[in-house]
Homo-oligomer: A and B are copies of this chain.
Amino acid sequence: MGFETKSENKCFGGRQLVLSHDSAETKTAMELAVYLPPQADDGPVPVLWYLSGLTCTWENVTAKAGVQRWCAEHGLAFVAPDTSPRGEGVPDDPDGAYDFGLAAGFYVDATEEPFAANYRMYSYLTEELPGLLAAELPLDMDRQGITGHSMGGHGALTIGMRHPDRFRSLSAFAPIVAPSEVPWGHKALGGYLGEDRTAWAEHDATALVASRGWHGDILIDQGDADNFLAEQLRPELFEAACKAVGVPLTLRLQPGYDHSYYFISTFIGDHVAWHAERLRR
């Protein structure tokens, strides 16, 4: 079954689409946004995935980042999925907290109840959605890059490093780099995967770069006025792990910038250009 088009808006000469489909993985309807640059009218274009942070849907980055201007310039499609399953019957955090459950899927396949049935964001993003996108849209799936913000930076780094054959380029904005070491990660990985921490390592970027490395370089932007920097993000842990295994990391601490989309919009042009350079044939 294919996509239903919920909306289409012309933007920078291309098409901003919002799509919906029934997911076999999450057993819910899932929405996502895809920007097709003008170059897609002439044939398949490379793909940049963007995974969003806690509380977000596809809409935040699509409306607030100004990313279409850069994707049109460089000829990249931009895919922005949702951050969790949603809808009637999908279990949420028992207290309705923002950092677990709805809009906080953490890009894993849950094994704990009652989340295991629906919270399958890892398989959704690595298996089901790429197949649908390849079948339905003019995308060159041999040229994919991935980025994301905060929880989505965690998703980008972990999914990217576990699929080096699929992703040529990898970057992140203010990512959670070591969920095994920070409160957001303890809650999410414990809640979805259980307290046996051996299962966590495959969803921890700092552990993954140590165990698997990465075939290319990595770009991370991080605001130094970000309220979450010291307790939840801790990029120095990832930096040390990259250094230990010789993975070239460019970690830019941006003075005065916070965790908001004003920060992302300022630097997303650099990230699109960086991915575009690595996705050229």
Contact = CB atoms under 8 A, between A and B. Distances in A.
Interface of A: 9-13, 16, 63-64, 66, 68-69, 223, 225, 256-258, 260-263, 265-266, 269
Given A68-B265, A265-B69, A9 B63 contact: no
A63 B69 CA distance: 15
Contact of A9 (B10, B12, B68, B258): B258
Nearest to A35: B262
A260 B8 CA distance: 11
A191 to B, nearest CB: 31
Nearest to A69: B66
A20 to B, nearest CB: 19
Contact of A66 (B9, B66, B263): B66
Given A10-B256, A11-B266, A266-B11, A63 B16 contact: no
30 contacts: A9-B258, A9-B260, A9-B262, A9-B263, A10-B223, A10-B225, A10-B256, A10-B257, A10-B263, A10-B266, A11-B262, A11-B263, A11-B265, A12-B265, A12-B266, A13-B266, A16-B262, A63-B63, A63-B64, A63-B261, A64-B64, A66-B66, A66-B69, A66-B265, A68-B262, A68-B265, A68-B266, A69-B265, A69-B266, A69-B269
A129 B11 CA distance: 33
Contacts of A63: 63-64, 261
A223 B11 CA distance: 11
Given A10-B256, A68-B262, 9 more contacts: A9-B263, A10-B262, A11-B265, A12-B266, A63-B261, A66-B69, A68-B265, A68-B266, A69-B266
Nearest to A12: B266
A57 B246 CA distance: 49
A268 to B, nearest CB: 10
Nearest to A63: B64
A257 to B, nearest CB: 5
A10 B258 CA distance: 7
A223 B9 CA distance: 11
Contacts of A11: 262-263, 265-266
Contacts of A66: 66, 69, 265
A263 B10 CA distance: 7
Nearest to A267: B12
A68 B269 CA distance: 13
A266 B13 CA distance: 8
Nearest to A60: B63
Contacts of A263: 9-11
